[in-house]
Amino acid sequence: MPKIISSQELDNRIGEICKELQLGHCIGLPTETVYGLAADATNGQAVARIFEMKGRPKFNPLIIHVANLDMAEEYGTFNALARQLADAFWPGPLTLVVPRRADTGLSELVSAGLGTVGIRCPKGLAREIIASFGRPLAAPSANKSGKVSPTAASHVAQQFEGTDLMIADNGVCEVGLESTIAKVEDEIITILRPGLVTADMIQDATGKEPEISKSQTIEAPGMMKSHYAPNANVKLNCNTVEDGAAFLAFGQVSIDTSCGCTVYNLSKSGDLREAAANLYLGLKTLDETGTDMICVSPIPHEGLGIAINDRLQRASAPRKP
């Protein structure tokens, strides 16, 4: 059974968590975005265990999490533009994809053969653990490959029941959606995955308008078409609910619930930030009713709504058999 370390105990048990990492084991790591399945990024076997536990395709590279820009620069090459982005948004939900430095001791598996590495400096407890451990942690979201990302320690425990994974419980994740991924190549910024840090925020910080990646497969292989998928099928932009379906609502919706359908409202006041934080919990809650269809309200396609719609589109994409 997974071992959950409660938030009250965390301060006194960071040493124990680091010991687990030292042994090459994975841990459940709370970050401000989602929970990660983390291991020592310089230990090849530990990184291989992440792929194994997640059932993740090997070609999909992992993000490394660092305590600060100095640690980041040991593993990746930061030009002035990448530094400017790190200064503006770290610690926080922005991953920077930069050229990977050679011979740093970073596991080869981390970047899955690419010449680049994705690096981010998370906020809060995750950062404290990394600083205390002294080495970067490779961490994908702590879900089985292709499934909904966990935003609470109990969701991680559910995904990995039957293992003895140590999970640091730091409550519900503040952001609730994975980090924005931005690739920096010379003077060009390309957003590979939308998130809380929007294109406008990046432009305000750097004076450069980022490009938006159209690539579905190569740049961020995690952007595979069907991703973040609950068991139920997902139908978007619904203003009515089909018979037997559950409803993931947004804002003040008036729908006929006389059919007895279960409704989860992402944000009754229509707040996108609140909706992002509730998205995965909402999908999971409705999925657990056993319904085979989740109908979703239209979500405004602006600001954080772009990231929410990105995840919902993937959740609704045709599944591999």
List residues binding ligand TXA (CB under 6 A).
31, 33-34, 36, 60-63, 93, 95, 97, 111, 114, 116-118, 139-141, 178-179, 181, 192, 219-223
Burial class (CB in 10 A: 0-12, 13-18, 19+), 253: middle
Q: Which does residue 117 bind out of ligand TXA, Mg ion, none, counting CB within 5 to 8 angstroms by kind?
A: ligand TXA
Rg (CA), the chain: 19
Q: Which does residue 295 bind out of ligand TXA, Mg ion, none, counting CB within 5 to 8 angstroms by kind?
A: none
Q: Parallel, antiparallel, or unpaired: how do β-strands 188-193 and 180-185 relate?
A: antiparallel
The answer to whether the CB of 122 falls within 8 A of the CB of 64 is: no
Q: Percent helix, strand and coil across the chain, each rounded to 5?
A: 30, 20, 45
Task: By CB under 5 A, tell whether 180 contacts Mg ion.
Answer: no
- The span of 5-13, 141-149, 265-273, 304-312 binding Mg ion (CB under 5 A) equals 141-149
Task: By CB under 5 A, tell whether 141 contacts Mg ion.
Answer: yes
Closest contact distance (angstroms) between CB of 70 and Mg ion is 27
Task: Give whichever of 116 and 141 is closer to Mg ion, judged by the CB atom.
Answer: 141
Task: Report d(CA 61, CA 43) in Å as an integer.
Answer: 15
Task: Give whichever of 159 and 179 is closer to ligand TXA, judged by the CB atom.
Answer: 179
């003077």: which residue's tokens? 187
Task: Give whichever of 65 and 293 is closer to ligand TXA, judged by the CB atom.
Answer: 65
Task: Give whichever of 57 and 290 is closer to ligand TXA, judged by the CB atom.
Answer: 57
Closest contact distance (angstroms) between CB of 36 and ligand TXA is 3
Residues 6+ positions from 274 with CB-CB distance below 8 Å? 266, 267
Total residues contacting Mg ion (rule CB under 5 A)?
1
